[in-house]
Amino acid sequence: MTTRHFACKTADVLRDAPKIVSVSNLSIGIFSLNDGYHALLNICPHKGAALCEGPVCGTTRQTSDREFVYDRAGELVRCAWHGWEFDIRSGEFLVDPTVKARRFDVSVEGDDLYLHI
Amino acid sequence: MFIVDCDCHNYWCSATVLEPYMDGVFKDMFVRGEKTGPRGAFPHGHRPWFHPEGFARHDVNPVEEDDNYTIMKEKHLDKYNIDVAILTGDEPIEASTLANPYYADALCRAYNDYLIDYWLPKDDRFWGSIVVAPQDPQLAAAEIRRAGGHPRVVQVLVSHGAARPYGDPFYHPIYEACAEMGLPFAMHLGGQGGINAAPIGAGPTTFFWETHAILPQTAMTHVASLIAQGVFEKWPALKVVIIECGVAWVPSVLWRLDANYKALRKETPWLKRLPSEYFKSNIRMSTQPLEQPQNIQHLWATLEAMDGENTLMFASDYPHWDYDDVTKLHIPPAWREKVLGLNALDVYSRLPQRVREAAE
């Protein structure tokens, strides 16, 4: 059973710079991507660091030998401390998708942004 | 118990045994030129460390060339019921220290012909490692294709002293040839000196025992490089055998590799698995010399962390000064069958069916 919580105004969330809010005693990063808003718990499942305070970036696509294709720009966040890469939409760690950052549903009404916790 | 000895050194009394296998200018250089090696007078860029007692056991004293075999048969093969001995030569891997890759290649070719001609027919238990000079990977690959077709040749051997880490794409023609011939690629401790100028990270150590104890750092570099450069993605069936480089460091290096890869996988987008997974599927470590902590449980816990039951292979290092006999191997008893023989049968896939049946 989730509850809807007001988080912030949509204008507070910039591209490539998540808005960190505190809702229900949880620190949560809200990201703005092409397809809308996404939210992750601001705690890295690796060592508990401030996941959402790391850079929003892309990475290399898995390729065959010695080919470097930079891909997914703006769709990943690297944890602020140890650099693990997480898919902002799914919360999945790229190296091992069974490791997941906790994600929350986001909804928008007018210019108000809500988190479902 | 079926026993495969993965590091059995076939010595010679003098490197002149190679003369019949050389010709042209390189024979001229070999016969008339300066020889830098120890008693066997094999040319190489000499290392700065000298074993104060010599490398060989003092109860192994061949006088005639054939003594090398008869003493090995009596004091090692027969005594310990060795079923398969993978011959690893001795001085020839020092060819990797020479700046002249053409001469180095000629020496390797001569040694390989001598091995096939002189040693392999002597005993049904003998299987050979052909030696190549990695400083010219194209020549090395050609030699793998030339001599590697012999049915009793089971691996390609280089020294672990190298001018650059073995995962470097510079060396990939060697792995291409190994894969094509179905042969594992092995590196044996040695080859310090000459063009392999930096086998020790902080510069030359002083004493032999000190040096010998810390030589594994070169093997650490090769393990990291082979995995990071994607050698096992390009050649998934290739097995790499690391001989006489110690083993207790392996878990710590794998832990570090896995941790760093998790943060920086973007540097090597060709990798699809954790570094430790490539190690477990593609790299095998020889046992000799196993580390000897006062509390054996400390070693066993470490071996367990590297999946030693499946990644270790017995080696005696006959007839060197730190020789291990098979009865003194300090591994968990439940692992003995695999480590003493069965793991090697997976790696040396050329060993024929009758040998495999003997193991069952």
CA distance B3 to B5: 6
- Give the model's pLDDT for residue B196: 87
Residue B52 binned pLDDT confidence (cut-offs 50, 70, 90):
confident
Local confidence band at B337 (pLDDT 50, 70, 90 cut-offs): very high
Query: Each residue of A8-30: b (16+ CB within 10 Å) or e?
Result: bebeebeeeebbebebeebebbb
Distance from the B291 Cα atom to the nearest Cα atom in chain A, whole angstroms: 33
Residue contact A95–B234, C-beta within 8 A: no
The Cα–Cα gap between B225 and B166 comes to: 6
- Please give, one letter per residue, the 3-state secondary structure of chain B: CCCEEEEECCCCCCHHHHHHHCCHHHHHHHHHCCCCCCCCCCCCCCCCCCCCCCCECCCCCCCCCCHHHHHHHHHHHCCCCCCEEEECCCHHHHHHHCCCHHHHHHHHHHHHHHHHHHHHHHCCCEEEEEECCCCCHHHHHHHHHHHCCCCCEEEEEEECCCCCCCCCHHHHHHHHHHHHHCCCEEEECCCCECCECCCCCCCCCCCHHHHHHHCHHHHHHHHHHHHHCCHHHHCCCCCEEEECCCCCCHHHHHHHHHHHHHHHHHHCCCCCCCHHHHHHHHEEEECCCCCCCCCHHHHHHHHHHCCHHHHEECCCCECECCCCCHHHCCCCHHHHHHHHHHHHHHHCCCCCHHHHHHHC
Q: Which of A69, A82, A96 sits opposite B263 (nearest CB)?
A: A82
Question: Which among A67, A71, A95 is the top mutation candidate for probing chain B, defined by the most B β-carbons within 10 Å of its own β-carbon?
Answer: A95
Question: How near does any CA of chain A get to the CA of B229, in Å?
Answer: 8
Q: For B260-284, what is each residue's pLDDT tens digit?
A: 999 999 999 999 999 999 999 999 9
User: Is the predicted pLDDT of residue B198 greater than 90, yes or no?
Assistant: no
Q: How many CB pairs under 8 A join A and B?
A: 40
B161–chain A Cβ distance below 8 A for any pair: no
Q: How much is the pLDDT for B199?
A: 66
- The arithmetic mean of pLDDT across residues A82-90, rounded, is 97
Asked whether residue B295 carries a pLDDT value surpassing 80, the answer given is yes
Q: How does strand B312-313 pair with strand B283-286? A: parallel
pLDDT in tens, A38-71: 999 999 999 999 999 999 999 999 998 889 999 9
Residue of A nearest to B271 (CA): A62
**Is B265 close to A67, i.e. CB distance below 8 A?**
no
Per-residue pLDDT, averaged over B329-337, amounts to 94
Query: Residue B193's pLDDT is what?
Result: 87
Mean pLDDT on B71-92: 96
User: A66 and B262: CB-CB below 8 Å?
Assistant: no
Q: How far apart are CA B231 and CA B178, in angstroms?
A: 12
Is pLDDT of B197 > 70? no
**Total-model pTM:** 0.93
Please judge whether A67 and B270 are an interchain contact, meaning their C-beta atoms are less than 8 angstroms apart: yes
Q: What is the pLDDT of residue B358?
A: 84
Query: B173: which residues sit within 8 A by CB, 6+ positions away?
Result: B137, B138, B140, B141
Find the angle CA(B114)-CA(B118)-CA(B119) to the nearest 5 degrees: 100
Calpha distance B72→B60 (Å, rounded): 8
A2-11, B110-119, B195-204, B326-335, range with the lowest pLDDT: B195-204
ipTM of the complex: 0.87
Can you tell me the mean pLDDT for B93-99? Answer: 94
Cis peptide before B137 (omega within 30 of 0): no
Q: Is 80 exceeded by the pLDDT of residue B38? A: no
On average, the pLDDT of chain B sits at: 93
Mean pLDDT for B31-44 is 80
Q: Is the dihedral of CA B190, B6, B158, B54 positive or negative?
A: positive
User: Residues of A numbered 82-111 whose beta carbons fall under 8 angstroms of chain B's beta carbons: which are they?
Assistant: 82-85, 93-96
Looking at the predicted structure, is the pLDDT value of residue A89 above 80?
yes
Q: Do A61 and B272 touch (CB under 8 A)?
A: no
Q: A95, B265: Cβ pair inside 8 Å?
A: yes
Closest CA to B125 of B348, B327, B336: B348
Cβ-nearest to A84 among B234, B263, B269? B263
* Whether residue B200 has pLDDT greater than 80: no
Nearest to B84 by CA among B293, B274, B346: B346
B216-262 tens-digit pLDDT: 999 999 999 999 999 999 999 999 999 999 999 999 999 999 999 99
